[in-house]
Structure 1
Amino acid sequence: MEDSLDKSLIYLIPDWNENTELEEDRVFTLSKFFSKEGYQNKVLLTNPIPFLRYKLNGSGHTYNNIVRVFDVLQNIKTDMGHPLSLEDLALPPDIDKIYTPSATLLVRKEKVFGKVSYNDYGFMSKIRYLQSDGSFIDEVYDDRGFVSEKHYLNKKYEVYKIKYFNELGENSVSQIGKDLIIEKKGNNFLKDKYTSLDEAMREVLHYVMEESTHKQSDHDISIVTTTEKKIIQQTQGLAYKGKMIRIITDRLEEDREEAELIVDTRTRMSKNKVQNYIPIFLPQLNLGVSDSTAQMQIYCKISSIHPQEDKIVASMIQKVIKDEQLSLIFEIDDFKSMERAKFTQKLIIESYFEVSIDSTEYLKVEKYITAKREKQLFTQDVEAVRELQDSSDWSKYVGAVNANLRIDYIYQPDSAMIEDALNSARIYLDLEDKYNMLRHSKAISAGIPIISKHTSDFITDGKNGFTLKDSNDEKELEDFIDYFIYNLRNWNKALVHNVNIIEQHESDNIIRKWREIITKKYEEKN
């Protein structure tokens, strides 16, 4: 029997922008999954992403199955080229450049008139020019080597107009307020003016789909989108031969399209009464080494620290201070909250050991212990603490230093850093504001128990983790941690349970679910 996915071309339509975290995106994850399993799929992008190729490369995804629909709107014909540098620009000869760690200032006659910004890839991404009337113009650069957008801002930094350009420098489209003006009309547009960018993009998307349907007449086309309002509006009424599949995200917008609805988490099934459950973030066998390390590390993920989290953070720090077998790693999304946690740690350690972390004595002991651990101990380091070693305060300073070294922080880690931290963690403690299914799947992949404030697709209470009834209950949290930390048998049972979960999420099982969804449509047709 012919595989229904073999004769189907899958179009995935996401709402990506330059700030989208691709690793956490459902459509991105699905595209990688389909590609890995050998099934044809294309991602249709309806937003401009100037450094798309570098963004995809950083996330380990191929550019070949990407269709930049916004390029049709801008009348861009090329996929080639290289990012521009400041030296490529024809700046006036009397311009001075002042380089700072985060930007380059353009100075003329001792006045700053431009600021060059750089992206995470190290390339020039934007120049903001100051105008004589106090307004601004932002030139946005594309990774293919041209100015793709100009944003016009008033003195309050509010954007009132955007001009879009192609690789020839032609102004193809302008956006004034919500209105979109077609400056260079082509065959893709029925009108010269649209009431919104979404309206014009819907027309372009329809054109792209009609072209694709004509070229791929021997394929059934399945469209996979999410249920964000913008995507539903852009994809209603598309011409294609196949099936519309929508993955329910946080909310289900009104949809006139006859679509098959999918949920990727059982936590949403009761809310939306949808029976098609297909997980997207799949755990992979990537067991860690925490069972063979001396330190038992707790990985604690927090979005931000409010008064109720303060007590939990303090109790976790105190627990690690009292037990030298434990270590703690905090991942805190909000930078100010992370600094707050560090300050709490400082106060607790100073109070517990009766020392000052800012003192000269502490710094000498810290340098001595760190150098000794790294086997880079020099004579001057030994001499610096010799007198202190004979004092009654020596054990206090050593205890304070060791406690500090057992508590670490990571901020905005990439996927590799997260997996590395989970690889050595004994428990994953989830105190995030929202349920992060991808992160839970990574913890399961590492084989470690999860203690979470959220109901999870991956947690079976008492077997491979616990769901906190009250995330502010310090006693409940400590009991759950102790259940796995101090009872190796319980931890091993969690490991076995996690391996079973990984096996249930093997790719063959997931592909079969997708095949059933698509096949059902064909059976209904016949």
Structure 2
Amino acid sequence: MFYFLPDWQQSENFWENTAEPWYRETRKIEFDDTINQLRMLIKSNQSSKMLILSYSPFLRSFLQRQDILGVNSFNAFDVIQGINLKYMRSLNFTDLNWPTDIEFSYTPFLVIARRQDQLYARIEFASNGRLLKIIRFLNDKPSETLLFDDRGFLSSLIYQNKSISEKQQTFFDLNGNWRIKVNYPAMNVEVNPNFYTEFMQKKYENIEELIVEKFCQYLTKCFSKKDTLIVAAAERQINLVNKIDLPRKQVVFSFFAQRQDIDKQQIVKLTKKAATFIADTDKTVSQLNSISSHTDYSAEVVQISPFDSRLELGHSQQVKKLKILLLVNRLDISDQKPVLSELIKTMKQNQLIELVLVDYQNTQTYWKKVVQQVIQQQKAEDLFVFADQQQIVSKVKNENDFNSTKRKIIWCFLQSEEDVIRQLSDTRLVIDLAKEPDLFLQIASISAGIPQINQVKTSYVEDHKNGLIIKKIDQLKQAVNFYLVGLTNWNQALVYAAKRISEYSSKNLIKKWQKISKEAE
């Protein structure tokens, strides 16, 4: 069986992963290596289990969003709190015990509870509409916060002392009995005397000590010689794994470039804990091999794409426009204006080209300024204008703002995997000139049969096969014309991409994982 130790914490506290109210929650790329590894294993009916060591009362909502809700899991805080409930159920805040003279005011964002014209509580909801938390007030100041589980019960209560940093969090079971109390900022833990028999200590110096206790107990009971532990290579997870003792050949660290940078000293230590490293990109493979080869415990480095390919060919050849998708994420500052300048020159000569700038961060203001400067340098103010795709789609009333007679250089903020797939559906050419091309975009482009232009050679794009590798920015115009003037080169890239799809299919990636598992036995 594959056991996965993910890194999904969003809180500063390594052990906490609580959800945000729906109006504060920003859409963003949540996708990582662990999520897709689990998705692939589900499809292939491979035995797998998640090891959730953080306090995650809205875990099921996250798993449902990622389409991995059905994966079995060990939850350390469920054990600590004595919870064995698996499924979500609804809980209405009006079903709770409120004073008889309470009055509720419904706003577009939350519900306000008032008592005798005084603020009594603020009721917050998650993005799926479930009750998230209730903040109670005393003299207009927060006095306590009730945190609810998405399975429909009160999970914990935070008491706020006079000092902002001093507070206590009490964790409950399904019957409302408190199990443990965590005191801040010291982080020491008290155990309810009624449940001493379920813990090895009556008090713990910190919450991590308790989590490691439950983690080790579970591994001792369930982890066999045929199992493999896949650890998301992140500082928090690495620190936890350093506290447990497992055979080196049964531990695998999975490195994901978007999670954290490679740390040489850290990698040297990891070779003592694991015999295998999984890497997502060529750069990561090279870095890990370079470090591992000079250690006493050399680890095998295996490159496995965290993203599987699917045959989802776009329909760009069916539309007249020639859409270029330019990923500006991590594009060197020195390259930004030259790249835009080359593309605008090309657009002047080809009226069918539509340029769309995309980024995983909301850098619209910055790029609007850069684009406008390049347009001025090209003396093309009468020809081109910067435009936000959201405003174009929503058809704002003041059409004059968009100078409809001018061709638009469009900006798009990518906030989810679905946004990327949607953009690629009618894209003719993808350009990513970063020193490390975006892996998800590369695999998604292969799935859509779209040729790519890069500056760096990777395992995913082969020169003059499913894309072009240029050495200098001044070669960009020629590279664009190679694919947009006529269909011969573009069709050849499409055919080659279709052949590459099987290479990164779930079936073939699973074979690599199975090989690692057999070597661990």
The answer, yes or no, to whether TM exceeds 0.5 is yes
Kept in 1, the 8 Å contact 2:421–2:444? The answer is yes
2:222 aligns to what? Answer: 212
Tell me whether 1:503 sits opposite 2:502 in the alignment: yes
Which protein has greater RCO, CA pairs closer than 8 Å, 6+ apart? Answer: 2
Tell me whether 1:104 sits opposite 2:119 in the alignment: no
The one-letter amino acid of 1:194's match is: Y
The one-letter amino acid of 2:206's match is: S
CA distance in 2, matches of 1:24, 1:322: 39
Q: 1:134 to 1:293 in 2, by over 3 A?
A: same
1:251 aligns to what? Answer: 262
Of 306, 312, 324, which residue of structure 2 is paired with 1:298? 324
Q: Where does 1:337-376 land on structure 2 (aligned, <5 Å)?
A: 337-341=363-367, 352-353=381-382
1:43 aligns to what? Answer: 50
Q: 1:410 to 1:68 in 2, by over 3 A?
A: farther
Tell me whether 1:13 sits opposite 2:27 in the alignment: no
**Is the deviation greater in 323-332 or in 71-80?**
323-332
1:375 aligns to what? Answer: none
Could you list the per-position Cα deviations for residues 80-113 of structure 1 after superposition, in whole angstroms to 9, with x for gaps in the alignment? 4424233223233433333333223333444444
1:386 aligns to what? Answer: none
CA distance in 2, matches of 1:343, 1:412: 19
Kept in 1, the 8 Å contact 2:326–2:355? The answer is yes
CA distance in 1, matches of 2:511, 2:386: 58
Aligned length: 473
Once the two structures are TM-superposed, the CA of residue 202 in structure 1 deviates from its matched residue by 1.4
Q: 1:412 to 1:510 in 2, by over 3 A?
A: closer
CA distance in 1, matches of 2:419, 2:453: 21
1:488 aligns to what? Answer: 487
Of 194, 199, 214, which residue of structure 1 is paired with 2:209? 199
Of 246, 250, 264, which residue of structure 1 is paired with 2:280? 264
Kept in 2, the 8 Å contact 1:165–1:171? The answer is yes
CA distance in 2, matches of 1:357, 1:500: 37
Provide the secondary structure at the position in 2 that maps to 1:353.
Answer: coil
Once the two structures are TM-superposed, the CA of residue 455 in structure 1 deviates from its matched residue by 5.4
The one-letter amino acid of 2:215's match is: L
CA distance in 1, matches of 2:494, 2:161: 58
Once the two structures are TM-superposed, the CA of residue 74 in structure 1 deviates from its matched residue by 2.4
Tell me whether 1:401 sits opposite 2:412 in the alignment: no
CA distance in 2, matches of 1:356, 1:194: 62
CA distance in 2, matches of 1:257, 1:13: 15
Q: TM-score, normalised by structure 2?
A: 0.77
Q: TM-score, normalised by structure 1?
A: 0.76
Provide the secondary structure at the position in 2 that maps to 1:24.
Answer: coil
Tell me whether 1:429 sits opposite 2:428 in the alignment: no
1:228 aligns to what? Answer: 234
2:37 aligns to what? Answer: 30
2:189 aligns to what? Answer: 181
Q: 1:329 to 1:166 in 2, by over 3 A?
A: farther
Q: 1:367 to 1:35 in 2, by over 3 A?
A: closer
Provide the secondary structure at the position in 1 that maps to 2:490.
Answer: helix
Q: 1:114 to 1:353 in 2, by over 3 A?
A: farther
Provide the secondary structure at the position in 1 that maps to 2:403.
Answer: helix
Give the structure with higher Rg (CA): 1
CA distance in 1, matches of 2:49, 2:433: 36
CA distance in 1, matches of 2:66, 2:234: 23
1:331 aligns to what? Answer: 358
Which structure 1 segments of 5+ residues have no match? 1-8, 371-396
RMSD between aligned residues? 4.0
